[in-house]
Structure 1
Amino acid sequence: MAELSTHDPLAGIPIDRVPPSSHYGRPGTPGATARLVEGLALATLVARKGQAPALGRTLAATFGVPVADAPRLSGTAPSFIGMGPGRWIALAEDAALATRLREAAGSLAAVTEQSDGYIVLDLAGPKVEWLLAKGALIDLDTSVFREGDVATTVLAHIGVTLWRTGPESFRLLVLRSYLAAFCRFLVASGAEFGLRLDVRG
């Protein structure tokens, strides 16, 4: 078997392990940072047939924010991320989130607790678009993918949902079982610019 290059930022890290929190690649100020976000509850809402408009009105009345039935971010506490027609994932620092959503939605939607199923990552920095472009199948330039826009897509063969949170920042949802593989993609793609990875839980 060929030896790994000494320049390989993943050298010596088992393929099934999450790379440790560290600075990878180019020294100095990192061009991108990736941080694991802890303490968020997640739940999916899927409107029952024909009930998406009524569900949107109910959520807006309950949580005080219009909820777009579109690939857009709505609200902050909780945040509703449009993942498809009549389908959202909600995030909040609220352990009772799924219960609150079930109470609000009633018979209008199916609500499923997802806090253990996904991890949330914040990516930021002047080179973050360049990093993501190495694995993305969509155009993430600010001219077409604006703040609050959401996409459910594939990055480096891994399914993700991501949305732009600022001119140089994104938030991503990744299935927890893919955390090691996705972080390896981030390290391999971000080392060119310098990547600060923070996955301490």
Structure 2
Amino acid sequence: MTSALDTFPVTQMPADGHYGPAGIHGVSVRVFDPPALALLAARRGGASALTVAAHATLGLALADAPRLARANGLGTIGAGPGRWLVLAEAPEDLTARLAPLAAHAAITEQTDGYVGFELSGVRTRDVLAKGVAVDLDPAAFPPGAAATTNVAHINVTFWREPGEERFVFLVARSYRVAFARFLIASGAEYGIAFAHRG
């Protein structure tokens, strides 16, 4: 019996299209390259000073928690003690924009290292329940909540977008095919559609 995974090689991303029973569409996946992404890591003992400087110079709120915050075309996600991922909404030289924070943090360009997967649809939580060891109930994981964890043995950072039932995952580029295969294996029974965007 042919499975949805048999339709593309283990070394290639799935093509745009639908996987699973015809006429059933429970999950949509948009695969994209982040416009700009960097990691901020506070220098020893400098997390408080970094937080103050980020707010004063860029209007950024660096929450000491795994949460998404947005301001001035940038998003921040707490990725661990004294560490934040910073995402730009449009392509830009993010390290240059973050340069005023260099006295308080190490700034590492990460844009080319990650691929984004945005999941939406009525069966999204059912798919994620098969591999995400985080309580995704809306009461426990409201819009703006984020986590860094392992999914199907792949390290990911993800968050829930405000508004619609949407989750966005950042996956190391070298694991993008493995993560796509996890999504198809977990979501084919609900009908899962892939679309790639720049």
**Which of 159, 170, 175 matches 2:167?**
170
Q: Distance in 1 between matches of 2:34 and 2:69?
A: 20
Displacement over 6 Å in runs of 4+? none
**Which of 175, 180, 187 matches 2:177?**
180
Q: What RMSD, in angstroms, separates the aligned Cα atoms of the two structures?
A: 1.4
Residue aligning to 1:38: 33
In the alignment, is the contact (CA less than 8 A) between 1:56 and 1:69 conserved in 2?
Answer: no
Question: Normalised by the size of structure 2, how large is the TM-score?
Answer: 0.93
The count of residues paired between Structure 1 and Structure 2 equals: 195
Q: Distance in 2 between matches of 1:145 and 1:187?
A: 23
Q: Secondary structure at the match of 1:177?
A: helix
Residue aligning to 1:112: 108
Residue aligning to 1:22: 17
Runs of at least 5 residues in structure 2 that lack an aligned partner in the other structure:
none
**Which of 129, 136, 149 matches 1:133?**
129
In the alignment, is the contact (CA less than 8 A) between 1:67 and 1:75 conserved in 2?
Answer: no
In the alignment, is residue 195 of structure 1 matched against residue 196 of structure 2?
no
Runs of at least 5 residues in structure 1 that lack an aligned partner in the other structure:
none
In the alignment, is the contact (CA less than 8 A) between 1:71 and 1:151 conserved in 2?
Answer: yes
Using the TM superposition, give the Cα deviation of residue 200 of structure 1 relative to its aligned residue in structure 2, in angstroms.
Answer: 4.9
Question: Normalised by the size of structure 1, how large is the TM-score?
Answer: 0.92
Percent identical pairs in the alignment equals: 46
Question: Aligned letter for 1:91?
Answer: L
Using the TM superposition, give the Cα deviation of residue 94 of structure 1 relative to its aligned residue in structure 2, in angstroms.
Answer: 3.2
